């Protein structure tokens, strides 16, 4: 037998050993990329829904009566949920119509310069959604958040 055949016979299992080391890492990277892409897609959906809700709320007519603000908040929340395409529920959305007094409503602070116009309301909208990034041997839970404050246009005439 030639020396070449003997060497080949001794290294036949090396490919399987290398594959056993590389395959879990490769699968983990692929799985992480897929779930990361899905989470990023959901984040964009949440952000667009919150933006749509804030724009809607900024121009929505505020009714009269004791439940006017609650009705406004319910309408804006329903609009965000509808715009999310099923990604968000009413429990995931917060909508408030407030005066700029420096408070953090719905996790949204007042924009800079808002305190100069104390009679102009702000429409504050936020949305949160849980997401899970899966890897081969572990997973990471994260929260997708989007927050927006818009000037309530009905106050400015």
What are the residues facing 151 on neighbouring strands? 122
Predicted local distance difference test score (pLDDT) of residue 67: 93
Domain ranges of the chain: 3-155
Over residues 117-146, the mean pLDDT reads 89
CB 128 within 8 A of CB 141: no
CA neighbor of 124 nearest in space, from 49, 50, 71 = 50
pLDDT at 10 over 70: no
Tell me the average pLDDT across 110-131.
86
What pTM value is reported for the model? 0.78
Alpha carbon distances (Å) from 95 to 51, 116, 140 = 12, 22, 28
In sequence order, the β-bridge partners of residue 94 are 126
Residue 6 has pLDDT above 60, yes or no: no
Q: Averaging pLDDT over each range in 13-17, 54-58, 98-102, which range is the top one?
A: 54-58
Query: What is the average pLDDT across 11-27?
Result: 87
User: Can you spell out the DSSP letters for 11-49?
Assistant: TTTHHHHHHHHHHHHHHHHHHHHHHHHHHHHHHHHHHHH
> In the prediction, which pLDDT does 70 show?
94
The residue that leads in pLDDT, 136 or 85, is 85
**Which tens digit of pLDDT belongs to each residue from 72-111?**
999 999 999 999 998 999 999 999 998 888 888 888 888 8
Query: What 8-state DSSP symbol labels residue 105?
Result: B
Contacts of 107 (CB under 8 A, 6+ apart): 94, 126, 145, 147
The share of the chain scoring above pLDDT 90, in percent, equals 49
């Amino acid at each position: 037998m030639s020396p070449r055949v003997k060497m080949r016979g001794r290294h036949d299992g090396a490919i399987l050993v290398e594959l056993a080391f590389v395959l879990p890492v490769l699968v983990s990277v692929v799985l992480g990329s897929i779930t990361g892409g899905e989470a990023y897609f959901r984040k964009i959906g949440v952000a667009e829904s919150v933006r749509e809700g804030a724009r809607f709320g900024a121009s929505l007519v505020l009714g009269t009566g004791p439940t006017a603000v609650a009705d406004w908040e319910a309408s804006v929340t329903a609009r965000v949920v509808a715009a999310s395409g099923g990604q968000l529920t009413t429990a995931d959305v917060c909508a408030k119509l407030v005066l700029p007094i420096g408070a953090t409503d719905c996790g949204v602070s007042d924009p800079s310069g808002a305190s100069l116009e104390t009679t102009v309301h702000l429409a504050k909208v936020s949305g949160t959604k849980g997401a899970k990034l899966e890897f081969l041997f572990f997973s990471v839970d994260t929260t997708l958040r989007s927050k927006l404050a818009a000037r309530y246009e009905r106050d400015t005439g």
